[in-house]
Amino acid sequence: MARDTVLIVDDEEGIRESLSGILEDDGYSVLTASSGEDAISRLTEIQPDIIFLDIWLTGISGLDTLSKIKNINSDIPVIMISGHGNIEMAVNAIKMGAYDFLEKPLSLEKVLLVASRAIEKKRLKEENRNLKAFMKNQNILIGSSSVMQKLREQIELAGRSNGRVLILGESGTGKEIAARLLHEKGNRSNFPFVEVNCAAIPQELIESELFGHEKGAFTGASERKIGKFELADKGTLFLDEIGDMSLQTQAKVLRVIETQFFQRVGGSKNISVDVRIISATNKNLQEDVKNQRFREDLYFRLNVIPLQLPTLREKREDIPELIEYFVNKFSIDNGVKAKTFSKDLIKIFMEYDWPGNIRELKNTVERLLIMVPQEVITIRDAERLGVCENSVNARGNQFFNYSTLKEAKDAFEAEFIKRKLKEHNWNISRTADAIDVERSSLHKKIKSLNIVETE
């Protein structure tokens, strides 16, 4: 593995030699420069991981050198060193972008600690930058399954038109994301995308929310309000949870669709709008039409292009990709190092039914990332936090599928021994000590149960 490179900039040969010795003994590759000019010149040829820079230099000063270094490459951590330092000088150096400030005589422990922390911060910054680039190139709708490919094709085609789209799907399947993609793909993408959650607004306020109201229209209407239809003019109005809209409001929405104009609550002036409507629901609107809970004429107006979003159960093969996406997004949003999920845990996630769909998976991944301190998240962590309990517990219930006690016992022993071997990196002696059996007995069990080493 390549060693981290340190550039030492100091006009005292003794300091360069002693600092080089400290860092080389700790495994760093060390380069030196005797002046600021020399250091700036060398940066055109090399890219050190960190720089130790004396603040008092012959020629251009350390602070001027720091400024030039930051102009060349602002990502290189620069640690200022001085035998005549003061608080004001240290503050100025930090303001100019220095990572830290050390006073001479230099402490071996302090030098190595600051160098290690500076390199770790630089690596984390680079990793976050790479992750941001990775996330930028990802589709918003994550997944490579055939159902997701078909969905993207449908969105691409439907997005180009002005036709009304009815998005159907269970809660958590990504209906809002699909609506936004439809807007972005169309010729209205430079105009507003306005969202209304029909289930979140009280029925007595929904008409004011959609159409606006005039001052004094009702108690509390102290000023004119512009409604969502008006705000979405020339753009897209997304009516989420349309199935929760009252029949009275449905009639008024139907009239706007048919006439392309409306009046604010308490007003008499007709307001003309040009709006594309995309609606979404997790309900069975056809059943609601039969039971007279939803207007049939409005249903047919909205359902010009139906778009059915798949549940997570219907695209289990996308789960690893979704986990990777959420892990990377979480690490970017919080500025932390990305963690990984064990293969066994991902397998359990792919067996779980996810009644809350993608939203539940996202929340679960985030919960584990926050609550598990280790870099690798395992089944044991999921068990401890009560994640996907049915699928995790099913690992124990699987033994009821065997017809004889011996079959179940052998299956349990094989699973138990394999897990313990993994915990001890497949070291048979340590595993035998951990489970309190003779090493020779464990060897026999491994052979008789056909246990094979895996990752």
pLDDT of the residue at 396:
44
Residue 136 has pLDDT above 70, yes or no: no
Q: For position 301, what pLDDT does the model report?
A: 96
What is the rounded CA–CA span in Å between residue 149 and residue 159? 15
Residue 121: strand, helix, or coil: helix
Q: Which residue has the higher pLDDT, 307 or 405?
A: 307
Burial of 172 (0-12, 13-18, 19+ CB in 10 A): buried
Phi, psi of 163 (to 5 degrees): -65, 145
Residue 247: CB atoms within 10 A of its CB come to 11
pLDDT of residue 397: 47
Q: In Å, what is the CA distance from 234 to each residue of 177, 246, 254, 275? A: 20, 26, 18, 5
How confident is the model over 57-80, as a mean pLDDT? 92
- Give the whole-number percent of the chain exceeding pLDDT 90: 57
Q: Is pLDDT larger for residue 244 or for residue 455?
A: 244
Contact call for residues 361 and 349 (beta carbons, < 8 A):
yes
Q: What is the mean pLDDT of residues 4-33?
A: 92
Nearest to 54 by CA among 93, 21, 24: 93
Question: Average pLDDT, stretch 265-273?
Answer: 92
Is residue 110 within a helix (H) or strand (E), and if so which, with residue range?
A: helix 108-136
Most confident of 1-15, 163-177, 338-352: 163-177
Cα distance between residue 112 and residue 120, in whole Å: 12
pLDDT, tens digit (0-9, with 9 covering 90-100), for 229-252 = 999 999 999 999 999 999 999 999
In the predicted structure, residue 196 carries a pLDDT above the cut 90: yes
Range 416-436 average pLDDT: 85
pLDDT, average across residues 297-317: 95
The pLDDT value given to residue 132: 59
The residue type found at 266 is G
Task: Give kind and range of the element (H or E) at residue 5.
Answer: strand 5-9
pLDDT in tens, 354-390: 999 999 999 999 999 999 999 999 988 888 888 876 5
- 99-108, 167-176, 206-215 — which is least confidently predicted? 99-108
Average pLDDT, the chain: 88
User: Distance between CA 385 and CA 388 in Å, rounded?
Assistant: 9
Main-chain dihedrals φ then ψ at residue 341, nearest 5 degrees: -105, 135
Confidence at 222, pLDDT banded by 50, 70, 90: confident
Q: What pLDDT, on a 0 to 100 scale, did the predictor assign at position 357?
A: 94
Q: Is the pLDDT of residue 97 over 50?
A: yes
Quick check: helix, strand or coil at residue 2?
Answer: coil
What's the average model confidence in pLDDT over 421-443? Answer: 86
**Which domains does the chain show, CATH number per domain?**
5-135 (3.40.50.2300), 146-310 (3.40.50.300), 313-396 (1.10.8.60), 402-448 (1.10.10.60)
Q: What is the pLDDT of residue 86?
A: 67
Backbone torsions φ then ψ of 419, nearest 5 degrees? -65, -45
Closest CA to 234 of 270, 190, 264: 190
Q: Which residue has the tokens 């929904």?
A: 206
The pLDDT confidence band at residue 259, using thresholds 50, 70 and 90, is: very high
The DSSP string of 128-193 is HHHHHHHHHTS-SS---SHHHHHHHHHHHHHHTS---EEEE--TTS-HHHHHHHHHHHSTTTTS-E
Residue type, 72: I
On whether the CB atoms of residues 326 and 362 are closer than 8 A, the answer is: yes
Rg for the chain (alpha carbons), in Å?
32
Helix (H, G, I), strand (E, B) or coil at 207: helix
CA end-to-end distance (rounded Å), the chain: 23
Question: Tokens at residue 65, please?
Answer: 């050198």
State yes or no: pLDDT of 174 exceeds 90.
Answer: yes
Residues 6+ apart with CB under 8 A from 435: 416, 417, 420, 442
Q: HSE of 327 in the Cβ direction (CA atoms, 13 Å)? A: 19
Give CA–CA dist 91/100, Å, rounded. Answer: 10
Residue that is written with structure tokens 């239809």 in the block? 229
Residue 175: pLDDT band with limits 50, 70, 90: very high
pLDDT exceeds 60 at position 1: no
Instruction: Provide the pairing of β-strand 271-272 with 261-262.
Output: antiparallel
> For 84, phi and psi rounded to 5 degrees?
-130, 40
Phi, psi of 220 (to 5 degrees): 95, -10
pLDDT band at residue 400 using 50, 70 and 90 as cut-offs: very low
CA distances to 122, 126, 139, 209, 346 from 129, rounded to whole Å, are 11, 5, 18, 41, 26
pTM: 0.60
Residue 87 binned pLDDT confidence (cut-offs 50, 70, 90): confident
Q: How does pLDDT run across 37-56, given as a tens digit for each residue?
A: 999 999 988 899 999 999 88
**Residue 299 in this model has a pLDDT that exceeds 90:** yes
What residue spans of 216-246 are helical by DSSP H?
228-231
pLDDT, tens digit (0-9, with 9 covering 90-100), for 98-134: 999 888 888 889 999 999 999 988 887 787 677 656 5
- Per-residue pLDDT at 440 exceeds 80: yes
